[in-house]
Amino acid sequence: MFNKTTSSHFLKYGFVSREIPRTNLQKQDYTIFNENTTTLISYSKPVYIEPMEGMALLHIAKEEQLNQIETFALHRKICIYPGNAFALVTMSNYIVYNLYMPKESEIKKISLAKTLMYHRIKPSIRIQELLAYYYVVKRPHYQFKGEIHPYYELTFVDQGELETTVEDETFTLKANDCLFYGPGQFHNQKVTSENPCSYLTAIFEADGLCHDKLVRKIYHCNREEIQLIQQFVKYTEFENDYQNDLLVSSLETFIIQLQSHMGHSTQKTSSPANQHYENSLLEEIVQYINLHLYEPLPIDSLCDNFAISRSTLQNLFNNYMKITPKAYINNEKLNLSRLLIRDGKYSITQVANLLGFNSIHYFSRKFTRKFHINPSEYAKKIYDQL
């Protein structure tokens, strides 16, 4: 975060001045195009700086503490005390400012051993175009013979197992695994298990990806990354003027998180030991829920089973998954219901009963609210994929 010259941190070097004294001061105007500097300047008397155009960054330190240079965004007119060495560099294309100093002030130029750099805040990863995206549920033993195209492709497995061969290497993706295909890489896919497999595919053109690190590798997504994928899927159902922007930005965020976090959660707890305990406990609870989706899962029974209070359970899910336990259970049951409908072995009424919904009407209402399509329409829509 940038500090401004109007912040309290700047007070040891100077202060914001409403007016600049006009007596015994000489004015010099400067136009700066440089983003970097190797020189600081100090004055023996107070000097005033008046910004005129552009955005400037002020590097400043006490002369006797040049190893502790601080940086401030120049905001408003300022006075700098004597004995402080400073330099202004541009944050915009250029800056224009006026410097007011006493005529008898002595000037000292100080050369630095290292260049002070201003690093512009620009994205390194950019999705140029999202060509296609699909969320599909494939039956057991489904096979896709393969394709090759000049784009990146992401496959994220939601449920089940998917086997894919990229060039001459075979991978098996399980639930919450993802894999990127690179441009020009031939790949096929097949469901090898006796259960259906649901997965997301996104095909896109991008710059700045760590190609060798990212492609042809299975990555098991953590909770934060899964939430980003779920957000992407949610945006596919939006119908407004900003849907394309939301889709692209959420996919970019997912890739950035994947490359930067490498599986480590950014959630913070009071201590590493406590974080490890909470992560382990939450993993156990989530695993337990996923293994008992066909059973009633009242919150009290979860608390009793893991010997924790309702507030502890609520905090675990809210802090790490940004969702309540009850909402998580309902979401997982609804996700499983989509697979069961896709599998075709049960009627919609039977699916609702299997997953413990009170009535077919309640199940249908929850399903429609989550997926923006009712169960009967969903079954009809995916019939052609069988």
Q: Which residue segments constitute the domains of the chain, with CATH numbers given?
A: 3-116 (2.60.120.480), 126-261 (2.60.120.280), 272-385 (1.10.10.60)
pLDDT given for residue 382 in this prediction: 62
pLDDT given for residue 338 in this prediction: 86
Q: How far apart are CA 296 and CA 167, in angstroms?
A: 45
Task: For 82-115, write each residue's pLDDT tens digit.
Answer: 999 999 999 999 999 999 999 889 999 999 999 9
Q: What is the pTM of this model?
A: 0.65
Q: 281-285 — which CB contacts under 8 Å span 24+ positions?
A: 281/306, 281/308, 281/316, 282/316, 282/317, 282/320, 282/321, 285/313, 285/316
Element (H or E) spanning 155, and its range? strand 152-159
pLDDT given for residue 316 in this prediction: 87
pLDDT at 383 over 80: no
Q: How far apart are CA 382 and CA 338, in angstroms?
A: 10
Quote the distance between the C-alpha of residue 292 and its chain's center. 31
Task: For 331-374, write each residue's pLDDT tens digit.
Answer: 899 989 988 888 788 899 999 999 998 889 999 999 998 888 88
Task: For 270-321, write each residue's pLDDT tens digit.
Answer: 445 565 667 788 888 988 998 899 988 999 999 998 888 888 898 888 888 7
pLDDT given for residue 144 in this prediction: 93
Task: For 165-178, write each residue's pLDDT tens digit.
Answer: 998 899 999 988 99
